[in-house]
Amino acid sequence: MFSSGVCMSNESRPLPLDLEVATLSYSDSFFIAAPGMATHVTLSAAAFLLLLLLLLPFSFSISHSHRSAAINLFAPAPAPASLQDAYEALRVFEILGIEEKKTHEDTCQSVLQNLASSSSLGDLFYALKVNGVLKCSVDGKVFKDIATRLKTTVHVSTTLLDIYYSVGGLVLVKDQDSNVDVVLADVDGVFQSIKALSQRDGRWCHIFDNPESSIYAAGLALESLAGLISLASSEIDQSKVNIVKNDIVKLFDGIEKYDDGSFYFDEKFVGGHEQHDPLSTTSSVVRGVTAFAAVTSGKIDLPEDKILGLAKFFLGIGIPEDAKDFFNQVQSLAFLESNRISIPLILSLPETVYSLTKKGQLKVKVNTALGSAAPPLTVKLVRAFSTGAKNSAIIDSKELRYDQESGFHVLDAFLKNVDVGTYVFIFEIVLHDSGSEKVYATGGQIHVPISVTGIIEVGNVEITVLDGDLGSSETKKKLDLAGNDAVSLSANHLQKLRFSFQLATPLGHAFKPHQAFFKLRHETKVEHIFVVGNSGKKFEIILTRCERINMEGRVDGRFNVMEGRLETVEIAVDGIKVETGALHQDTVAIRQELKEIMRMLGGRRHQTEDSQSSVNANVQQDENEGGRRIGKHEHPPNWRKRVELPTFEGPDPLNWINRADRFFDLQGVEEDDEKL
């Protein structure tokens, strides 16, 4: 239980406290409001509606949002900085089916210049990549010259990257001009040279005489080996292919995993080569593994949950703001969409919060990672249970109805025993064609967190005046929310005011949010926010002392009677949309105010005579009682007292802002220039 000061006068006269209970129709929170009518308490309305809170959907495929983001991310530049950048933009548009309106004469001109000259292997490789998309007018002789150069480079390269560019370039020439001879005679020797760079844990080295290895290099090596197999004049020894497949399995043995079932690769070394983040590293492996699987017979023995987990990892990133990250995400999903190991099927829910009051439908959709239609299937709800009672199922084995028009699998209505709370729904994808099980990865049983909202009733509301010394109850008023009763209370500055209430779900169970806040707003617009304690049976807060809202000073420094009335009192459940948004805005404003005050003060400390003043004593009491005041107030300075400006110490800026604000207010300082 938290308690803090709110207006109790310094003289024994009735406290004008006005409360009114209202119903919210626009948020998931509830409040008690006081319009400022004097000398009595009025409460009405019996229940408060918790409306639907739109949380992020559970999983998702590539959507129209990605297409819009791609246009904004790649289209604005008049000309790409490099051919690599140009290729990545073109490839993203190609995968997402975006048609560009602008022409690419300048890009094609750059492509022709790089293909016809002795460009670096990297520039030559990306010039061929871009040409594969734009189909620039390249002379056949240019392709022949490129093939001759690259066939020589393959055999003399000393780094994995040079081999990657050379082999990849030959594959691109083969795809763009079938009349050019790109066949490699001594493939076994090159294959063995690349294989010599592999390590026992599935990693690969970048350079032949350097022992440093990486996962990113493994992707380059696998893609290079796949290219060699497609360029070979004769079939590669199957035993060598099987060894590489075993290397892939070893590589996946070291894959990392998130709690949500996402899998990814991450580098654990810092060597002489560029350090790659998990996204680029995982993308490299996906390119290499899918390319190698595409040119070899038989399947690579990788668990389908890891392939599905890779898709979840890329989708879980959302919409990247960086062009390189966007390309890696979309291209990797495209490879997973058509790979020969197993194609991930993504189960997604557009909403994971449902309202008992609105009686909405639970909808599930199954697509591929890029949003293509899934094969014929059924979605079953295997089981659902409350997070607080895992052994007690609320739903057992229910098949969802398929709506062909919308493409959703639908649970028409929740059962009557479903109450407000958090649940886990377990779904299973059942493919109709048994042959599809060898092609698609469904992920087995899929656990989805679901939140259910509904009407929360507020009952047993009491306002009690407590004796200040003994804490015994002097006056207790039980409020009937169903009626419109008026209750009159009075208290002096030695007494305490206790406000308590209970919350109940539609099925009559106790509703226990993570936190509840109690907000007081004075007619001068000063706001006080307190955390309301939960004793297990009820919520309650004890108001013990007068916050200084509007007062007059006397010569001896004593405070006069508080002038003005409380305007609003609110109770808000933590995590609810409207109140949480308001508190977040306050937090942002506080941080901005902190920065401004720090700038003005410049770290200076004011030395004054009365450092142990009543102001500091009051602040210390605030800290001990856990109360915090948020907001600003304006009133003319009536008196000045020499006190010490507190120095900022510790991790909590809110208390310091509160104390600094009191210091300036007590000194009658309102303008920023004066504070400085």
Q: What percent of the chain has pLDDT over 70?
A: 65
Tokens of 166: 């050379």
Tell me what the mean pLDDT of segment 379-399 comes to: 87
Q: According to the model, what pLDDT value does residue 554 have?
A: 29
Measured between alpha carbons, how far is 62 from 330 in angstroms, rounded to an integer?
Answer: 8
Measured between alpha carbons, how far is 182 from 353 in angstroms, rounded to an integer?
Answer: 57
What does the pLDDT look like over 103-155, one tens digit per residue? 788 899 999 999 988 889 999 999 999 999 999 999 999 999 999 999 999 99
Tell me the CA end-to-end span of the chain in Å, nearest whole number: 39
CB-CB contact of 516 with 572 (8 Å)? yes
The alpha carbon of 333 is separated from its chain's Cα centroid by a whole number of angstroms, namely: 20
pLDDT over threshold 80, residue 448: yes
pLDDT over threshold 50, residue 475: yes
pLDDT over threshold 60, residue 617: no
Q: What are residue 584's phi and psi, to 5 degrees?
A: -65, -40
Considering all CA atoms of the chain, what is the largest pairwise distance in Å, rounded to the nearest integer? 104
Q: According to the model, what pLDDT value does residue 12 have?
A: 35
Write the CB contacts of 125 (distance below 8 Å, at least 6 apart in sequence).
165, 168, 169, 172
Q: According to the model, what pLDDT value does residue 521 have?
A: 65
Measured between alpha carbons, how far is 241 from 230 in angstroms, rounded to an integer?
Answer: 13
pLDDT over threshold 80, residue 548: no
How much is the mean pLDDT over the chain?
A: 74
Between residues 335 and 653, which one has the greater pLDDT?
A: 335
Q: 119-123, 165-169, 640-644 — which one is most confidently predicted on average? A: 165-169
| Residue 30 pLDDT class (50, 70, 90 cuts) | very low
The alpha carbon of 324 is separated from its chain's Cα centroid by a whole number of angstroms, namely: 20
CB-CB contact of 573 with 513 (8 Å)? yes
Q: According to the model, what pLDDT value does residue 486 have?
A: 57
Measured between alpha carbons, how far is 87 from 72 in angstroms, rounded to an integer?
Answer: 16
Q: According to the model, what pLDDT value does residue 360 have?
A: 77
Tokens of 5: 């000061």
Tell me what the mean pLDDT of segment 330-349 comes to: 94
Measured between alpha carbons, how far is 226 from 208 in angstroms, rounded to an integer?
Answer: 20
CB-CB contact of 139 with 146 (8 Å)? no
Measured between alpha carbons, how far is 463 from 452 in angstroms, rounded to an integer?
Answer: 31
Give the CA distances from residue 523 to residues 34, 300, 586, 606, 628, in Å, rounded to whole numbers and listed in that order: 10, 72, 19, 33, 18
| Residue 560 pLDDT class (50, 70, 90 cuts) | very low
Tell me what the mean pLDDT of segment 22-43 comes to: 30
Least confident of 69-83, 372-386, 432-446, 662-676: 662-676
pLDDT over threshold 60, residue 13: no
SS (H, E, C) 114-182: HHHCCCCHHHHHHHHHHHHHHCCCCCHHHHHHHHHHHHHHHHHCCEHHHHHHHHHHHHHHHHHCCCCCC
Q: According to the model, what pLDDT value does residue 531 have?
A: 78
Ramachandran bin of 597, using left for φ above 0, alpha for ψ from -120 to 50, beta for the remaining angles: alpha
Other C-beta atoms closer than 10 Å to the C-beta of 398 total 13
How much of the chain is helix, strand and coil, in % rounded to 5?
A: 35, 25, 40
CB-CB contact of 616 with 644 (8 Å)? yes
Q: 81-95, 520-534, 598-612 — which one is most confidently predicted on average? A: 81-95
pLDDT over threshold 60, residue 357: yes
CB-CB contact of 41 with 17 (8 Å)? yes
Q: Which of 271, 263, 169 is nearest to 217 (CA)?
A: 271
- Based on its alpha-carbon atoms, the radius of gyration of the chain, rounded to whole angstroms, reads 35
CB-CB contact of 123 with 83 (8 Å)? yes
CB-CB contact of 129 with 172 (8 Å)? yes
Between residues 178 and 640, which one has the greater pLDDT?
A: 178
CB-CB contact of 498 with 476 (8 Å)? no
Measured between alpha carbons, how far is 158 from 420 in angstroms, rounded to an integer?
Answer: 65
Q: According to the model, what pLDDT value does residue 532 have?
A: 80
What does the pLDDT look like over 206-265, one tens digit per residue? 888 777 889 999 999 999 999 999 999 888 999 999 999 999 999 999 999 998 899 999
Measured between alpha carbons, how far is 564 from 547 in angstroms, rounded to an integer?
Answer: 12
Measured between alpha carbons, how far is 589 from 582 in angstroms, rounded to an integer?
Answer: 11
Measured between alpha carbons, how far is 315 from 140 in angstroms, rounded to an integer?
Answer: 41
Measured between alpha carbons, how far is 529 from 598 in angstroms, rounded to an integer?
Answer: 24
Burial bucket for residue 39 (CB in 10 Å: 0-12, 13-18, 19+) = middle
| Residue 190 pLDDT class (50, 70, 90 cuts) | very high
Tell me what the mean pLDDT of segment 508-536 comes to: 75
Q: According to the model, what pLDDT value does residue 23 have?
A: 28
H or E element in which residue 295 lies? helix 278-295
What size, in residues, is the chain? 676
Write the CB contacts of 581 (distance below 8 Å, at least 6 apart in sequence).
none
| Residue 564 pLDDT class (50, 70, 90 cuts) | very low
| Residue 86 pLDDT class (50, 70, 90 cuts) | very high
CA dihedral 330, 331, 337, 343 (to 10 degrees): -100
What does the pLDDT look like over 262-288, one tens digit per residue? 999 998 755 555 678 999 999 999 999
Q: According to the model, what pLDDT value does residue 55 have?
A: 40
Give the CA distances from residue 561 to residues 19, 557, 641, in Å, rounded to whole numbers and listed in that order: 21, 13, 19
Q: Which of 597, 589, 590, 595 is nearest to 672 (CA)?
A: 597
Q: Which of 450, 269, 224 is nearest to 351 (CA)?
A: 450
Q: How many Cα neighbours within 13 Å face the side chain of 53? A: 22
Evaluate if pTM is beyond 0.75: no
Measured between alpha carbons, how far is 465 from 488 in angstroms, rounded to an integer?
Answer: 11
Q: Which of 283, 337, 267 is nearest to 308 (CA)?
A: 337
Measured between alpha carbons, how far is 127 from 99 in angstroms, rounded to an integer?
Answer: 21
pLDDT over threshold 50, residue 41: no
Tell me what the mean pLDDT of segment 630-635 comes to: 38
| Residue 80 pLDDT class (50, 70, 90 cuts) | low
CB-CB contact of 334 with 61 (8 Å)? no
| Residue 596 pLDDT class (50, 70, 90 cuts) | low
Burial bucket for residue 227 (CB in 10 Å: 0-12, 13-18, 19+) = buried
Q: According to the model, what pLDDT value does residue 352 have?
A: 87
Q: According to the model, what pLDDT value does residue 54 have?
A: 35
CB-CB contact of 78 with 97 (8 Å)? no
Tell me what the mean pLDDT of segment 515-525 comes to: 69
Measured between alpha carbons, how far is 222 from 202 in angstroms, rounded to an integer?
Answer: 11
Q: According to the model, what pLDDT value does residue 354 have?
A: 85
pLDDT over threshold 90, residue 52: no
pLDDT over threshold 50, residue 27: no
